[in-house]
Amino acid sequence: MKRILILLCLIITALLTHANIYGNNQAKTTFFSIDLKKNVGSTTWLYIQKGFEEAKTLNANTIIIEMNTYGGEVGFADSIRTKILNSDIPVIVFIDNNAASAGALISIACKKIYMRKGATIGAASVVDQTGQKLPDKYQSYMRATMRATAEAHGKDTIIMGNDTIYKWKRDPLIAEAMVDERTVVENVTDSGKVLTFTTEEAIKHNYCDGMAENIKEVIKSEIGNAEYELVKFKPTTWDDIKGFLLSPIFQSILIMLIIGGIYFELQTPGIGFPLVVAITAALLYFAPLYIDGLAEHWEILLFIIGIILIVLEIFAFPGFGVAGISGIVLVVAGLVLSLIGNIKFNFQPVSGDDFTRATLTVIGGMLFGFGATIYLSNKIGTKGIFKRLALDTTLDNKEGYLGVPLETQNVVGESGIASTVLRPSGKVRIGNKVYDAVSINGAFIEKGTEIKIVKYEAGQVYVEKK
pLDDT at residue 275 above 70? yes
320-359 core/surface letters (b: 16 or more CB in 10 A; e: else) = eeebbeebbebbbebbbbbbbebeeeeeeebeeebbebbe
| β-strand pairing of 433-439 with 425-430 | antiparallel
Model confidence pLDDT, tens digit, residues 141-171? 899 999 999 999 998 877 777 777 788 999 9
Mean pLDDT of 34-38: 93
* 230 or 310, greater pLDDT: 230
Helix ranges restricted to H, 62-209: 74-85, 102-109, 136-151, 172-177, 199-204
- Rounded to a whole number of angstroms, the CA Rg of the chain reads 38
Specify the 3-state DSSP secondary structure of 94: strand
Q: What are phi and psi of 61, to 5 degrees?
A: -85, -35
Q: Judge if pTM exceeds 0.75.
A: no
More confident residue, 409 or 324: 324
- Looking at residue 346, its pLDDT comes to 66
| Predicted confidence (pLDDT) at residue 358 exceeds the cutoff of 80 | no
Confidence band of 19 (pLDDT split at 50, 70, 90): very low
Buried b or exposed e, range 4-42, using 16+ CB within 10 angstroms = eeeeeeeeeeeeeeeeeebeeeeeebbbbbbbbeebbbb
CA distance 27 to 413: 115
Q: Which of 40, 31, 108, 101 is nearest to 64 (CA)?
A: 31
Pick the CATH number of 2-236 from 3.40.50.300, 3.30.930.10, 3.90.226.10, 3.20.10.10: 3.90.226.10
Query: Lowest mean pLDDT: which of 40-54, 105-119, 135-149, 375-389?
Result: 375-389
- Cα–Cα distance for residue pair 311/307, rounded to 1 Å: 6
pLDDT of residue 443: 81
Closest CA to 61 of 186, 264, 222, 181: 222
Look at residue 385 in the predicted model and tell me its pLDDT: 46
**Average pLDDT estimate for 429-447:** 85
Average the pLDDT over 251-265 and give the result. 81
Which sequence spans correspond to the domains of the chain? 2-236, 246-389, 397-465
Ramachandran sector of residue 412 (left: φ over 0; alpha: ψ -120 to 50; beta: rest): beta
Tell me the three state secondary structure of residue 8.
helix
SS3 119: coil
Q: How many whole angstroms separate alpha carbon 20 and alpha carbon 317?
A: 70
CB 415: neighbour CB atoms within 10 A? 14
**397-465: CATH homologous superfamily?**
Nucleic acid-binding proteins (2.40.50.140)
Q: What percent of the chain has pLDDT over 70?
A: 79
Of 48, 114, 43, 113, give the one whose Cα is nearest residue 80. 48
Give CA–CA dist 428/122, Å, rounded: 96
Q: Higher confidence at residue 100 or residue 403? A: 100
Q: Which of 6-20, 162-176, 351-365 has the highest mean pLDDT?
A: 162-176
